[in-house]
Structure 1
Amino acid sequence: MIEIERKSEIRDKMRSYKIILDNKFFGEIKSGEIKRFNIATGKHRIYLKIDWCRSNKLDFYISNDEVVELKCGNSMKQWTIVNFLAYATIAKNKYLWIDIKKIK
């Protein structure tokens, strides 16, 4: 099972992030939400998408009866026109982030 926790932030507050697992649309997550999904044992790759931007791609392995806790959010610390233009163009694959919080 995976558990994904999205931080509650002002940026993208009213928008959902698409969850992409193993290159397939898997669901969506809203600001401040925690989602749980049962997935098969084995190696997986997950990332998040919003419009043309996305997060880093995270590879992980899940064993039987294991829970992989993930956390995610928006990478932009402060909204400025320069930050927006950078994240919308050259850093579009870093606009969002996802990381492992804990494996239990």
Structure 2
Amino acid sequence: MNKETYVEVNRTSQYINKMRRFSVLIDGVEAGKIKDGGRLRIDLQPGEHVIQVKINWCTSQTVRFTLDEGEVLKFRCGSPVHGWKMFFALFYVLAAPEKYSFIEQE
């Protein structure tokens, strides 16, 4: 029996970056793009992988995971820059680009 093995990435809906897509990188290679509030399914081979998201030159921290055959892992991504933090968006982009976006396992 062939079981589907994939990851699903859900992006939060936020005012910041509303019109822009995040690139989803698996093992350092772009696997797809995800729009605001969107969902992306990425079929993968079982094994060790790393995932991160990128928008322009701002790349999130990497998350390392192991995917077994027939397993589905879910991740959530977005930007911690919301509310009053939007006033500091330029700081995040220029001084701390690795903190401009996030990805985490659900």
Q: TM-score, normalised by structure 1?
A: 0.90
Per-residue displacement from partner, 1:1-35 (whole Å, max 9, x unpaired)?
10100011111000000111101111100001111
Q: 1:64 aligns with which of 48, 66, 69?
A: 69
The total of aligned residue pairs comes to 99
Q: 1:36 aligns with which of 16, 34, 41?
A: 41
Gaps of 5+ in 1: none
For the residue of structure 1 that corresponds to 2:90, the secondary structure is helix
Tell me the amino acid that sits aligned with residue 47 of structure 2.
G
Which 4+ stretches in 1 moved above 6 angstroms?
none
Query: How far apart, CA to CA, are the structure 1 residues paired with 2:99 and 2:50?
Result: 16
Alpha carbon RMSD of aligned pairs, Å? 0.9
Q: CA deviation at 1:86?
A: 2.1
Quick one: percent identity of the two aligned structures? Answer: 31
Per-residue displacement from partner, 1:69-93 (whole Å, max 9, x unpaired)?
000101213311xx22320122101
Residue of structure 2 equivalent to 1:46: 51
Gaps of 5+ in 2: 1-5
